[in-house]
Amino acid sequence: MSGGPTARAPAAETPSASDMLLTVHSVDLLESKDGPNRREHHTDAYFSDNLIIRRGQTFQMWIEFSRPFNPKSDSLQLQLKLEPIFSSSTGIHISVPLVDILEDGRWEMKIVEQEDKRVRLAVNTLPTASIGCYKVTVESFSPKGKLLFPCSPNDLYMLFNPWCEDDAVYLDDESERKEYILNSMGRIYYGTEQQIGTRTWNFAQFEQDILEACLFILERGQVAMTEWRDPVIVSRMVSALVNSNDDYGVLMGNWKDSYEGGTSPTAWSGSGDILRQYYSSGSLSNSPSAGVKMSWYSHRCVTNFNSAHDTDLSLTTDIYIDEKLEIIKDKTSDSVWNFHVWNESWMSRPDLPAGYGGWQVVDATPQEPSQGSYRCGPTSVSAVRNGQVNLKFDTPFVFAEVNSDKIYWQKKPDGSFSQVNVEKSSIGQCISTKAVGSDARVDITHLYKYPEGSWEERTAVERASRRLQTDFVSVPTGNDVSVEIVMDGAGPRIGEDAKLSIVLKNKSSSQRTASLLYEVMVMYYTGVLKNTVKKDQIPLTLKPQETKTIPLTLQYKEYMNHLVDQGALMLAVTGRVNETQQILATQFNFRLRTPDLIITPQGDAVVGKELTVKITFQNPLSQVLRNVLFRIEGLGMQSVRKIAYGDVDKHATVTLTEKFVPTVAGPQKLLASMDCRLLTQVHGVADIVVKPK
């Protein structure tokens, strides 16, 4: 940038240097990953050669001119343009003037250093600026006229700034900023509340082309770029655009057991490949939950177990049974998902009353439309906890997901239904997210609701019911027999028999008799039932104060040909106590656990040196696995490695030997997953510390 031929003394008739046009020869945006801009703006992890900055913070740049800059007669101005690439919507044009003293809250720039023909500028940005990719032009002024110097293709990317106190996404805890913004590896929890499974997820937010892909998604939203300054609007737009229900978004939701033309959601292990595929071709992938982490503001993945899908905003989950105590499947439209994953984003909420900022639910796989589009959020977690369902956005639906009452209704001879049982604490269990600074699971249920049954929790439910003018549910009285279903340990493995127990307690001083009906059903993890694999009746006699345990075994041969994705099943138990006519009703969701992929590095990992890794898997089934595909990512790779293995014989062991060349020193993760129609949710992770050269 510096240097050039030595200036000669001008001849007597030559005009002075300050009378010549001020021509820009070059501009250095100091975009290097290890330069001051990227380091100070916490964007040095991005795999990009462009300048990436965070709003509300000063950045620096060098300009080289055709002659020395004369502050008495020359001037400068930056032109920043945020213009749509794929649409015809209106863009944004910002002029940044040259000043002597920088003031906060203004677009301004100041010369902080001058070396011969070069000047170094400090440029102020607004904490309310629209995020996006800006075109940069330098406008130079001299007594001889004005010249323009476009800096293209050196674009400037501007992001939200959780380090800036004046930004709506400001987060004041540095350890949380490192976790929720700078950490590219997270954890997603799945399964059931008693069988919580964990898988590592590569958010890939710093990988090649991912930033561009995220901005491409925003532009597909057809929202004015002036609104891109507001994280509330941006997050709501992202919620709509990640799903493809009605706007050709990234992911096509598929809750069936066939993913023809797409990819099973359990086969993915990161967001990078999904976003790159969409960005390059606009094609869609099947996935019921995608951990899309846009590193513009603080974000974490949250899993809600026993997550209710309230279809009619009644704030209750309604289960209907007939006179024979069997579930009326076509009447029961509400469902309880084994688990549901959404994102939380941290931001202030100036559009809500004070106290409702902080973590906001943003669900990119919404189950119902909101204001005419499939989206959910941002929903204040604090509003959900307090039953303030009148506050936007979509608070009633999220409230029902975590704190609705589960009500059993029985059909009467005249065709009407009467309430026969209420479960007030089954919905919204073990709400989980990854801990800050470790891979531990943290239970954050207390952030979404007060302790079950407490005065505060019941008050929140009553407040929510009043706001929506729904009936507050009362518990039927006179019930002295209880029923619950228990499972030992971590539960059954796929390929083995499943063993559970039905436990009944007679709390009265009199004998009780009943006839129990139990039904084991295969279901999708969304709570939608597929078919029944086992069903029977059990006569029952309970002595006064007696507790009786009834063992139940579901054999492998009974379920092996009926399973759907993720191996989810439900045991439903109903019955009637003869002496009191009390209706017994409960449901228990469980899953068949799958084996892990075992990843073992062979030797030390060193930057630039080839590393051999072994990946081992054993087929637990007495069936052949067809067309098995393995996916591997992480360890600083910029793309997913796919290995088409073929068929795996029954109970056979597979060993893959793969070679990698690490590019980044420090703690890294290597992820692997298996894609197979017959056996899903098979994955593994290895923690690898990469040494520098």
452 among annotated binding-site residues: yes
pLDDT at 302: 97
pLDDT at 265: 72
Residue 501 neighbours by CB distance under 10 Å: 13
Contact 550, 504 (CB under 8 A): yes
- Average pLDDT of each block of 10 consecutive residues along the chain (693 residues)? 40 57 96 94 94 97 97 96 80 96 94 97 97 96 95 91 97 97 95 95 93 88 90 91 61 55 75 85 46 68 94 86 88 87 96 96 84 87 95 94 92 92 92 97 97 91 83 64 93 94 96 94 86 94 97 95 87 94 93 96 95 97 95 90 96 96 93 93 96 92
CA distances from 65 to 6, 113, 120, 122, 180 (A): 14, 14, 12, 17, 42
In the three-class reduction of DSSP (H, G, I as helix; E, B as strand; rest coil), residue 488 is classed as coil
What does the alpha-carbon distance between residue 412 and residue 659 come to, in Å, rounded to a whole number? 67
Domains located in the chain, CATH noted: 17-159 (2.60.40.10), 174-468 (3.90.260.10), 481-591 (2.60.40.10), 598-691 (2.60.40.10)
**DSSP-assigned letter for residue 312:** S
- Burial (0-12, 13-18, 19+ Cβ within 10 Å), 581: exposed
What does the alpha-carbon distance between residue 485 and residue 501 come to, in Å, rounded to a whole number? 6
166 among annotated binding-site residues: no
DSSP string, 36-81: HHHHHTT-TTSS-SSEEEETTS-EEEEEEESS---TTT-EEEEEEE
Q: Are strands 335-347 and 358-363 parallel, antiparallel or unpaired?
A: antiparallel
What does the alpha-carbon distance between residue 555 and residue 534 come to, in Å, rounded to a whole number? 10
Nearest to 20 by CA among 78, 79, 81, 65: 65
457 among annotated binding-site residues: yes
627 among annotated binding-site residues: no
Contact 190, 257 (CB under 8 A): no
Contact 131, 296 (CB under 8 A): yes
pLDDT tens profile 628-665: 999 999 988 888 999 999 999 999 999 999 999 998 89
Residues 6 or more apart whose CB falls under 8 angstroms from that of 543 comprise 506, 511
